[in-house]
Amino acid sequence: MSYVIVLLLGVVAALLQSTLLRALFPQSFVPDILLLLVLYGSLLFPFGKGLLLSFALGLLSDLFSGAPEGLNALFSITLFVMSKSIQARVFMKGFRAIWGLTILAFVLKVPYYALLSVLFGLHFPTAADGVLIWVGEFVSSLFLMPVLFYVVSKALGLQGGWFLEHQGSSPA
Amino acid sequence: MMGKVFTLLERHWYSALFLVLLGGAVAMLFSRAEKQPESHSLQRGLLELSGPFQKGMTKGVGFFEGLWQRYVYLVELEDENRLLLELIEEMKRERIQLLEFQGENDRLRSLLGFKQDFQKPLLPAEIIAKDLSGWFQTAVIDRGTRDGIEEGMAVVSVQGIVGQVMESSRGFSRVLLITDPNNAVAGLIQRSRARGIVVGNGHQLCRLKYLHRSEDVKTGDLVLASGLDGVYPKGVLIGTILKAETKDPELFQRVAIKPSVDFRRLEEVVVLCEKRDLEETVRP
Interacting residues of A121 by C-beta distance below 8 A, sequence separation 6+: B33
Q: Which domains does chain A have, with CATH numbers?
A: 2-159 (1.10.1760)
Give the per-residue pLDDT at B185: 93
What is the third-level CATH fold of B120-275? Thrombin, subunit H (2.40.10)
pLDDT score recorded for residue B164? 93
How many residues are present in chain A? 172
10 Å Cβ neighbour count for B178? 28
Q: Kindly provide the residue ranges of all beta strands, DSSP E only, lying in B117-159, ordered along the sequence.
A: 122-130, 138-141, 154-157
DSSP one-letter code for B72: I
The residues, any chain, with a CB within 8 Å of residue B87's CB and separated by 6 or more, are: none
B176 interfacial to chain A (CB closer than 8 Å): yes
Buried b (16+ CB within 10 A) or exposed e, B251-271: eebebbbbbbbebeeeeebbb
Q: Which of B44, B40, B41, B37 is CA-nearest to residue B171? A: B44
Across the interface, do B132 and A65 touch by the CB < 8 Å criterion? yes
In the prediction, which pLDDT does A169 show? Answer: 45
Cα A86 off chain centre by: 17
pLDDT of residue B259: 93
The per-residue pLDDT for B119 is 57
Q: How confident is the model at residue A92 (pLDDT cuts 50, 70, 90)?
A: low
pLDDT for position B198: 94
What distance in Å separates the CA atoms of residue A54 and residue A35, rounded to the nearest whole number? 9
Which residues, listed in sequence order, are joined to residue B168 by a DSSP beta bridge? B173
Q: What is the mean pLDDT of residues A132-157?
A: 83
- Please check whether residue A20 touches B, CB under 8 A: yes
Inter-chain CB proximity A51 and B18 less than 8 Å: yes
Give contacts of A115 with chain B, Cβ < 8 Å: none
How many other C-beta atoms are found inside a 10 Å radius of the C-beta of residue B218?
A: 10
Q: With 0-12 CB in 10 A as exposed, 13-18 as middle and 19+ as buried, what is B214? A: exposed
Q: Is the confidence at residue A116, as pLDDT, over 50? A: yes
Distance CA B120, CA B125 (A): 15
Q: pLDDT per position in chain B (284 positions), as tens? A: 666 666 766 667 778 888 888 888 888 888 766 665 555 677 777 777 777 877 887 777 777 777 766 666 666 777 788 889 888 888 887 887 788 788 777 766 665 554 445 456 788 898 988 887 778 889 999 999 999 898 889 999 888 899 999 888 888 999 999 999 888 999 999 888 899 999 998 878 899 999 888 888 889 899 999 888 888 888 889 999 998 888 878 888 889 999 999 888 888 899 988 765 544 444 43
Residue B118 is predicted with a pLDDT of 42
Question: Are the Cβ atoms of B58 and A19 closer than 8 angstroms?
Answer: yes
State which amino acid sits at residue B121: P
Average pLDDT over residues A103-114: 90
B256 to chain A, any CB pair closer than 8 A? The answer is no
Report domain extents, chain B. 41-112, 120-275
Question: Which of A62, A83, A137 has the most B C-beta neighbours within 10 Å, making it the best mutation to test the interface with B?
Answer: A62
User: E-assigned strands of chain A?
Assistant: none
**Around A90, how many Cα atoms within 13 Å sit in the side-chain half-sphere?**
10
HSE-up of residue B34 (Cα within 13 Å, Cβ side) = 8
How far is the C-alpha of B141 from the C-alpha of B71, rounded, in Å?
29
Residue B10: the pLDDT is 65
Q: What torsion do the CA atoms of B13, B19, B24, B26 make, to the nearest 10 degrees?
A: 170
The average pLDDT across A16-24 equals 77
Pairwise pLDDT comparison (A28 vs A83), residue with the higher score: A83
Best A65, A109, A132, A138 member to test B by mutation, with max B CBs in 10 Å, is: A65
- Residue with the bigger pLDDT between A123 and B108: it is A123
Q: Per-residue b/e over B54-76, b at no fewer than 16 CB within 10 Å?
A: bbebbeebeeeeeeeeeeeeeee
Determine how many CB atoms are found less than 10 A away from the CB of residue A142.
15
Q: pLDDT at residue A100 above 50?
A: yes
Looking at chain B, which residue has its C-alpha nearest residue A11?
A: B50
Q: How far is CA B141 from CA B121, B163, B206, B237, in A?
A: 17, 12, 22, 21
CB A95 within 8 A of CB A142: no
B181 min Cα distance to partner chain A (Å): 6
Shortest distance between the Cα of A89 and any Cα of chain B, in A, equals: 17
